[in-house]
Amino acid sequence: MKVDPFFDECLKRLTPDDQFLDAAIQRAERVGQILRNDPDLGVREWSLGGSCSKMTALFPLKDVDLFVYLDESLWRVRSQTRYTPQYILRTFDERLQTTFRQWIASGDVKIRRQDHSLRIRYAREHSVDIDVVPALWDGNKAYVVEIPECSTKTWIRTCIPRQKLLLDRLDAPNRYLRRSIRLLKHWRNTHQLVLRSYALEILAAHAVARIASQHPRAVFLETMEWIRDTAMNDAAYITDYVTASEYGKVKAPIVILDPAVPGNNVASTAGNAARIKIVAAAKHTSQAIARAERYLERGRLRDGKAAFRSAFSRQRRAKQPGAVNASSPPSKPTSLTSKANGPKASFWQRLFG
C-alpha cells in the first residue's frame, strides 16, 4: 500500500533504542535479585514481563514489569485462607519501603502502590521505573500464577512464559506482529482509550490468523476492521493453550480472553462506554487510512500525510456554550502538531517535517 512508508517511519519513532532498553532491563534484573535476597519477602523466583520483555515497548520507555513469584504457602492465614489482594499489596509495600529505605531516605526512590503492582519510581530525570508485580505461585511447572487486582478485589490467573511463547510462535523474523502491537498502543494512547496493553497484544494475535500479509500495517488495519465490524460484541480468543470449551461463556461489555489460561477476561474492567469509544476510534482510523491511501494514489502527498496523521489524532466535540445547535459545523480532529498537545507536537513534525 502507498501508506506503508508512513507506517514504517512511524514505527521507527515509536521503537526504543536497544541500548536504553537493555539498561532498563538490567535495572529491573538488579531489583529482582535484591528482592529475592530478602528472606522476609518469600520470593522464590522472578522474571521480567510486560512490554519490555516482549519487545513491544514504546518510546519513550517509562517502566519495566518485574514479576516476583511468591511462595503461596507463606501468604495464607492460619485457616489456610488466602490473604486479600489489598492485604498482600499493602504488606509487600511495607517490605519494599524497608528494603529500599536507604534510597528512599536520600530522595532517589519513591514507592507507589497501584492496582496490581508497586511502582519503584526513580527521581533522576528520564529514569525508567520498575513495576513490581507480586505473583502467587504454587510451584507448578507451567508458571501459572495469580496476581492481585485491588479494583475488583480478586486474584487474576495468567502465565507469563506462555504469553511470550505465543508471540514468538506467531511472529516472524521481521517482528511484524510486535511492531503492529506498537502501532496499536500508539493508537490507544492518542485516542485515550481504556484498553490494557495485554488486550491489544491479544487483538493483534487474533488478527494474524485472518491475514496472509506479514506487514504491521496489515495486522493493524485488520484489528481496526474487526473492532469496527463486530462493535466488539464478539469475544476475541486464541486456542493455543485453552480450548473454546474451556473458555466458556463470558458476559461483559468487552471480552478479550487471556490465551495463556482459562477464566481471565483481560478487558473485564472496561465498561460499555469504553467499548463505544473504542469502536468509534476504530471507525475513524479505518476511514482516515483509506482516505490517505486514495490521496497518495492520486499523487496528493500533502493531503495523504494529513489524513494519515488524523488516523492517530483524537477527535473532540465542538464546544456548546448554550443549547445544542443542529446547524453547528462538525468538530475538527485534534492534531498532534498543535501547541496544546505539548511534546506530542514534535512526533509528527519529526515524522513528516
pLDDT tens across 149-199, in order? Answer: 998 889 999 999 999 999 999 998 889 999 999 999 999 999 999 999 999
CA dist 163 and 159 (Å) reads 6
Query: Per residue in 233-279, pLDDT tens?
Result: 999 999 999 999 999 999 999 999 999 999 999 999 999 999 999 99
3-class secondary structure, 61: coil
Architecture of domain 16-158: 2-Layer Sandwich (3.30)
Distance of CA 306 to the CA centre of its chain: 27
- For residue 311, the surrounding DSSP H or E stretch is helix 301-311
Q: What are the Cα distances from residue 175, in Å, to 50, 216, 225, 243, 294?
A: 17, 8, 21, 26, 28
Extract the residue ranges of the chain whose pLDDT is less than 50.
318-345
User: CB 318: neighbour CB atoms within 10 A?
Assistant: 10
For the chain, the structural domain boundaries read 16-158, 165-352
- Note the pLDDT of residue 348: 59
- Note the pLDDT of residue 350: 62
CA dist 145 and 135 (Å) reads 6
- Note the pLDDT of residue 307: 96
- Of 216, 343, 194, the closest CA to residue 281 belongs to 194
CA dist 202 and 256 (Å) reads 7
- For residue 51, the number of C-alpha atoms closer than 13 Å in the C-beta half-sphere is 28
**Parallel, antiparallel or unpaired: strands 129-137 and 63-71:** parallel
Q: How many residues does the chain have?
A: 353
Q: Are 147 and 261 in contact (CB under 8 A)?
A: no
Helices (H) and strands (E) in the chain, counts: 13, 7
- Of 133, 157, 147, the closest CA to residue 49 belongs to 133
- Note the pLDDT of residue 194: 94
- Note the pLDDT of residue 133: 96
Q: Which residue in this structure is represented by grid cell 532491563?
A: 25
- For residue 346, the surrounding DSSP H or E stretch is helix 344-352
**Parallel, antiparallel or unpaired: strands 145-149 and 43-49:** unpaired
Q: Which residue in this structure is represented by grid cell 458476559?
A: 251
Q: Grid coordinates standing for 98?
A: 524497608
Largest CA distance in the chain: 73
